């Protein structure tokens, strides 16, 4: 039987190529039955996606992905079934997105200082929703400075490159707390990249203590060995093993939409956990103060 679940996708509300409606139409055309939209730092695509899903008879799961920084790179935290209309939650997301605007402008300035001619106006126009590095990469590609999006990250905007500017700094624990503050279900995204399988065991008790309930296990390009190791850790720490492709559209991540098997158990367990939280008074979240940007 072909795959019918994908729990990790992006739309034009953040750095995906397809609008929420187009994404759902593509999901339908390849036979997906259950889809989650997990845009970076925004729930701006969720209403449209839910609407499109209802018309196409797809079971839609609202989600979000919060990027956080640790020494040496990023850890991403997915959040499923957040009660995203909560004003306090939206207020925090707005702060994160506003910081992305300033950060995008700063990255363009740093590029300009090195004689690279891309404009903030163009980057802003490419981004339909929350601005991210992929939009800067696209502007660099359009202007002919690189041949691929990956090359833009390698040469200009990857962590440690001269035009790289960090986002509003959150720790993985902050992201877990933020998602929990909307009764969402925090899940550690693609953990093999960072912190890495060897380190992961040291992270799980603290993140679980913070409120994490899942571990992304069936992720786009992960090998069978990765999957087995993550599944064993998820079972050991009683975390829900989730999965998906991280589909952004062609050319950004390697796995096509629906291109990874995700067991239905993941959906069942997420839904059961969400039902237990829905409508309860969530813990409040306090945004850590911003740190000085370069
Ligand atoms: P930002 O949140 O603005 O820092 O952008 C991070 C996003 O850029 C990630 O979520 C990925 O979608 C994308 N990304 C990161 N590294 C690469 C890469 N080497 N090639 C293509 N896309 C990347
Ligand atoms: Fe992305
Ligand atoms: Fe991610
Ligand atoms: Zn993602």
108-157 confidence digits (pLDDT tens) = 999 999 999 999 999 999 999 999 999 999 999 999 999 999 999 999 99
In the reported structure, the alpha carbon of residue 42 is separated from the centroid of ligand 3 by a whole-number distance in angstroms of: 13
Q: State which residues have CB under 5 angstroms from ligand 2, the bound ion.
A: 15
Query: CA 205 to CA 193: how far, in whole Å?
Result: 19
In the reported structure, the alpha carbon of residue 65 is separated from the centroid of ligand 3 by a whole-number distance in angstroms of: 7
SS (H, E, C) 59-72: EEEEEEEEEEEECC
Q: Is 8 in the pocket of ligand 1 (CB under 6 A)?
A: no
Task: Report strand pairing: 34-37 vs 59-70.
Answer: parallel
Range with the poorest average pLDDT among 45-59, 76-90, 240-254 = 240-254
User: Does 67 have pLDDT greater than 60?
Assistant: yes
In the reported structure, the alpha carbon of residue 115 is separated from the centroid of ligand 4 by a whole-number distance in angstroms of: 31
Residue nearest to atom 13 of ligand 1 (CA): 134
Residue 189 is predicted with a pLDDT of 98
Residue 293 is predicted with a pLDDT of 54
In the reported structure, the alpha carbon of residue 206 is separated from the centroid of ligand 4 by a whole-number distance in angstroms of: 23
In the reported structure, the alpha carbon of residue 180 is separated from the centroid of ligand 2 by a whole-number distance in angstroms of: 22
Give the burial string for 146-176 (b: 16+ CB within 10 Å, else e): beebeebbebbbeeeeebbbebbebebbbbb
Under DSSP, the state recorded for 288 is: P
In order of 206, 219, 227, the CA distances from 196 in angstroms are 16, 14, 13
Query: CA 240 to CA 26: how far, in whole Å?
Result: 27
Ligand at minimal distance from the CA of 193 is 3
On average, the pLDDT of the chain sits at 96
Atom of ligand 1 nearest to the CA of 76: 10
Q: Is 103 in the pocket of ligand 1 (CB under 6 A)?
A: no
Query: CA 58 to CA 27: how far, in whole Å?
Result: 8
Q: Report, as an integer, the average pLDDT of 11-15.
A: 97
Residue 292 is predicted with a pLDDT of 62
Atom of ligand 1 nearest to the CA of 131: 3
Query: CA 31 to CA 108: how far, in whole Å?
Result: 41
Residue 155 is predicted with a pLDDT of 97
Residue 130 is predicted with a pLDDT of 94
Q: Is 149 in the pocket of ligand 1 (CB under 6 A)?
A: yes
């Amino acid at each position: 039987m072909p795959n019918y679940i994908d729990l990790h996708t992006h739309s034009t509300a953040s750095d995906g190529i397809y609008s929420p409606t187009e994404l759902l139409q593509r999901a339908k055309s390849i036979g997906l039955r259950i889809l989650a939209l997990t845009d970076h730092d925004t729930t701006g695509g969720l209403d449209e996606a839910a609407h499109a899903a209802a018309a196409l008879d797809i079971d839609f799961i609202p989600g979000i992905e919060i990027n956080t920084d640790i020494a040496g790179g990023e850890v991403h935290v997915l959040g499923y079934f957040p009660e995203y209309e909560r004003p306090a939650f939206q207020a925090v997301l707005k702060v994160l997105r506003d910081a992305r605007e300033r950060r995008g402008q700063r990255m363009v300035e740093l590029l300009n200082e090195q004689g690279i001619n891309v404009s903030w106006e163009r980057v802003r126009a490419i981004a339909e929703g929350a601005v991210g590095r992929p939009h800067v990469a696209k502007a660099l590609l359009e202007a002919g400075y690189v041949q691929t999006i990956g090359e833009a990250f390698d040469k200009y905007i990857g962590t440690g490159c001269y035009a790289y500017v960090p986002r509003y700094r959150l720790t993985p624990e902050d992201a877990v707390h933020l998602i929990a503050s909307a009764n969402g279900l925090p899940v550690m995204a693609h953990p093999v990249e960072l912190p890495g399988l060897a380190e992961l065991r040291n992270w799980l008790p603290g993140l679980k203590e913070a409120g994490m309930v899942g571990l992304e296990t069936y992720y786009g390009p992960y090998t069978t060995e990765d999957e087995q190791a993550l599944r064993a850790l998820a079972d050991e720490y009683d975390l829900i093993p989730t999965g998906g492709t991280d589909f952004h559209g062609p050319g950004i991540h390697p796995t096509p939409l629906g291109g990874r098997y995700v067991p239905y158990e993941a959906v069942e367990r997420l839904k059961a956990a969400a039902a237990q939280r829905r409508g309860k008074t969530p813990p409040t979240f306090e945004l850590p103060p911003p740190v000085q940007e370069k």
